[in-house]
């Protein structure tokens, strides 16, 4: 059975790995706030389990097995978030910390039932894809709102962070996933954006907020 600590490392690897499925010890150390020697020791254990390829002074290469194990932890987290929103009426800003606790439940049937009750969702409340039972995950072609131009029409698809303060800020702006937006203006001085929504209302978003919102065309 995978330990809670191992699961936390796996989830960190999922979020930090690059396009070539590598991650560094330094990145893991900073992300988890764990000292480098401890990370090194854990990665040696991961190498024995064939989850990573470990070589001194080189980035870790995450194996196919390691990618799957990491994705399955994330699957439990994101399914839990969706269940809390859809079945228990939690706001999307209040589910992350609860999911952090429930993701360590080791009953596969528990999460399979959750998946069934939700009618097998593809995305969590924050727009992030939910890995399937095999650890496969949908690849999305999204970009930051901050990278878009005046006149462009986009769909609000996801957020890059799920902390309470940020999501509450989006709530005050009445921003909802799936909305269609048109970019009306971009302030030259601070790069804040004025957008119009489906209901023809307009709102202004700071550059910091735009950088944390993902959209597609």
18-72 tens-digit pLDDT: 989 999 999 999 999 999 999 999 999 999 999 999 998 899 999 999 999 999 9
Q: Please, where are the H alpha helices in 17-59?
A: 25-32, 36-48
Assess whether pLDDT exceeds 90 at residue 200: no
Assess whether pLDDT exceeds 90 at residue 184: yes
| pLDDT score at 119 | 97
| pLDDT score at 9 | 97
Give the chain's domains with CATH numbers: 4-62 (1.10.10.10), 143-216 (2.30.30.90)
User: pTM for the whole thing?
Assistant: 0.91
Neighbour order of strands in the sheet with 193-196: 143-144, 213-216, 153-159, 180-186, 193-196, 202-205
Element (H, E) at 15: helix 4-16
d(CA 216, CA 9): 31
Assess whether pLDDT exceeds 90 at residue 131: yes
Q: Are 62 and 125 in contact (CB under 8 A)?
A: no
| pLDDT score at 139 | 86
Question: pLDDT by residue (tens digit) across 100-127?
Answer: 999 999 999 999 999 999 999 999 999 9
Long-range contacts, stretch 176-181, CB < 8 angstroms, 24+ apart: 177/125, 177/126, 177/127, 179/155, 180/153, 180/154, 180/155, 180/156, 181/153, 181/154, 181/155, 181/156, 181/215
Using CA of residue 198, residue 95, residue 122, residue 8, what is the dihedral sign? positive
Place of tokens 């269940």: 83
Question: pLDDT by residue (tens digit) across 134-175?
Answer: 999 998 889 999 999 999 999 999 999 988 999 999 999 999
- Is the backbone of residue 154 left (phi > 0), alpha (psi -120 to 50) or beta? beta
| pLDDT score at 211 | 97
How many beta carbons lie within 10 A of that of residue 143, not counting itself?
A: 14
Q: What average pLDDT does range 6-15 have in this prediction?
A: 96
| pLDDT score at 128 | 96
Element (H, E) at 194: strand 193-196
């Amino acid at each position: 059975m995978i330990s809670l600590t191992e699961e936390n490392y796996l989830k960190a690897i999922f979020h930090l790995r690059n396009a070539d499925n590598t991650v560094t010890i330094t990145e893991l150390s900073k992300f988890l706030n764990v000292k480098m020697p401890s990370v090194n020791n854990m990665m040696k254990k991961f190498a024995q389990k064939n989850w990573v390829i470990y070589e001194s002074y080189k980035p870790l290469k995450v194996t196919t097995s390691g990618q799957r194990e990491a994705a399955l932890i994330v699957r439990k987290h994101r399914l839990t978030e969706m269940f809390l929103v859809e079945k228990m009426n939690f706001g999307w800003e209040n589910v992350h910390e609860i999911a952090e606790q429930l993701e360590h439940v080791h009953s596969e049937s528990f999460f399979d039932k959750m998946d069934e009750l939700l009618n097998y969702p593809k995305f969590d409340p924050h727009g992030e894809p939910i890995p399937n039972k095999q650890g496969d995950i949908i690849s999305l072609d999204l970009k930051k709102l901050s990278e878009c131009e005046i006149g462009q029409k986009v769909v609000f698809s996801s957020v890059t962070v799920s902390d309470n303060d940020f999501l509450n800020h989006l709530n005050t702006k009445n921003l909802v996933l799936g909305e269609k937006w048109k970019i009306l203006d971009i302030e030259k001085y601070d790069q804040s954006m004025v957008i119009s929504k489906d209901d023809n209302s307009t709102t202004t978003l700071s550059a910091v907020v735009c950088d944390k919102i993902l959209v597609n065309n």
